[in-house]
A and B are shown apart, each in its own frame.
Chain A
Amino acid sequence: MKLERFYGILIPILSIILGIAVGAIVMIAGGYDAGEGFYQLYYGIFGEPYSIGETLRATAPLIFAGLAVAFAFRTGLFNIGVEGQVLVGWMVAVWIGISFDLPTAIHLPLALIGAGLAGALWAAVPGVLKAVFHVHEVITSIMMNYIALYLTNDILRRYIGITNERTETVKESASLASTFLSELTDFSRLHNGIFVAVLAAAVFWFILWKTTLGYELRAVGFNKSAAEYAGMSVKRNIVLSFVISGVFAGLAGAMEGLGTFQNMTLNASFTGVGFDGIAVALLGANNPIGVVLAALLFAGLNIGGLSMQQVGIPPELIKIIIAFIIIFVASGYAIRLVIDRFTTKKDMAKTSKGAGK
Chain B
Amino acid sequence: MGFLEVLYIIVPIALAYSAPLIIAALGGIFSERSGVVNIALEGLMIMGAFVGIVSSLTLSKMGLGAASPWIAMLIAIAAGVVFSLFLAVPAILFRADQTVLGVAINMLAGGLTIFLVRALYDKGQTDSIPNRISKENVPFLSDIPVLKMFFANIYYTSYIAIILAFVAWYVVFKTPFGLRLRSVGEHPMAADTMGISVIKMRFIGVMISGGFGGLAGAVYATSISLNFSLTTILGQGFLAIAAMIFGKWHPVGAMGAALFFGFAQAISIIGQQLPVLDQIPQVYLLIAPYLLTILALAGVVGRADAPKAVGVPYIKGKR
Contact = CB atoms under 8 A, between A and B. Distances in A.
Contact of A150 (B107, B238, B286): B286
Interface in A66-97: 78, 80
B298 A323 contact: no
Contacts of A332: 96
B291 A143 contact: yes
Interface string A141-160: 01110110011011000100
Given A142-B238, A316-B118, A330-B104, A323 B111 contact: yes
A117 interface: no
B146 interface: no
- Looking at A133, A154, A158, A330, the one whose CB has the most chain B CB atoms below 10 A away is A330
B291 A147 contact: yes
B99 A138 contact: yes
B164 interface: no
Interface in B89-112: 90, 93-97, 99-101, 103-108, 110-112
Nearest to A152: B283
Contacts of A46: none
Given A323-B104, A333-B95, A317 B111 contact: yes
Contacts of A129: 294, 297-298
A334 B93 contact: yes
B287 interface: yes
B107 A146 contact: no
A99 to B, nearest CB: 21
Contacts of B235: 146
A269 interface: yes
Interface residues of A, number: 46
A339 to B, nearest CB: 13
Nearest to B90: A331
Interface string B278-319: 000111001100110110011100000010000000000000
Interface size class of B (residues with CB under 8 A): 35 or more
A98 B90 CA distance: 47
B115 A269 contact: no
A334 B281 contact: no
A7 interface: no
Given A282-B100, A331-B94, A334-B94, A324 B108 contact: yes
B76 interface: no
Contacts of B293: 139, 143
A268 interface: yes
A236 interface: no
A320 B115 contact: yes
A279 B104 CA distance: 8
Nearest to A158: B281
A320 B290 contact: no
Contact of A135 (B39, B114, B116, B297): B297
Contacts of B286: 150
B103 A139 contact: no
A31 B118 CA distance: 12
Contacts of B231: 268-269
A146 B290 contact: yes
Nearest to B108: A323
Contact of A139 (B110, B115, B230, B241): B241
A314 interface: yes
A30 B290 CA distance: 39
Contacts of B107: 275, 279, 319, 322-323, 326
B90 A275 contact: no
B25 interface: no
A269 B235 CA distance: 9
A322 B283 CA distance: 33
Contacts of B114: 314, 316
Contacts of A140: 294, 297
Interface string B228-247: 00110011001001100100
A316 B120 CA distance: 14
Contacts of A147: 287, 290-291
A105 to B, nearest CB: 36
A278 interface: yes
Interface string A313-357: 010111110111011001111100100000000000000000000
B70 interface: no
A318 B118 CA distance: 14
Contact of A327 (B90, B283, B297, B306): B90
B111 A316 contact: yes
B112 A326 contact: no
B104 A327 contact: yes
Contacts of B169: none
A210 interface: no
B86 interface: yes
Contacts of B93: 334
A174 B235 CA distance: 34
A318 B111 contact: yes
A26 B99 contact: no
- Looking at B95, B96, B299, the one whose CB has the most chain A CB atoms below 10 A away is B96
A142 B241 contact: yes
B119 interface: yes
Contacts of B112: 26, 316, 319-320
- Looking at A146, A282, A337, the one whose CB has the most chain B CB atoms below 10 A away is A146
Given A135-B297, A150-B286, A151-B287, A319 B111 contact: yes
9 smallest beta-carbon distances between A and B, as pairs: A319-B111, A323-B108, A326-B104, A330-B96, A154-B283, A314-B118, A143-B290, A334-B94, A316-B115
Given A319-B111, A334-B90, 6 more contacts: A133-B297, A143-B242, A147-B287, A316-B114, A327-B86, A331-B94
Interface of A: 26, 30-31, 78, 80, 125, 129, 133, 135-136, 138-140, 142-144, 146-147, 150-151, 153-154, 158, 268-269, 275, 278-279, 282, 314, 316-320, 322-324, 326-327, 330-334, 337
10 contacts: A26-B115, A146-B290, A279-B103, A322-B107, A323-B104, A326-B101, A326-B104, A326-B107, A327-B105, A332-B96
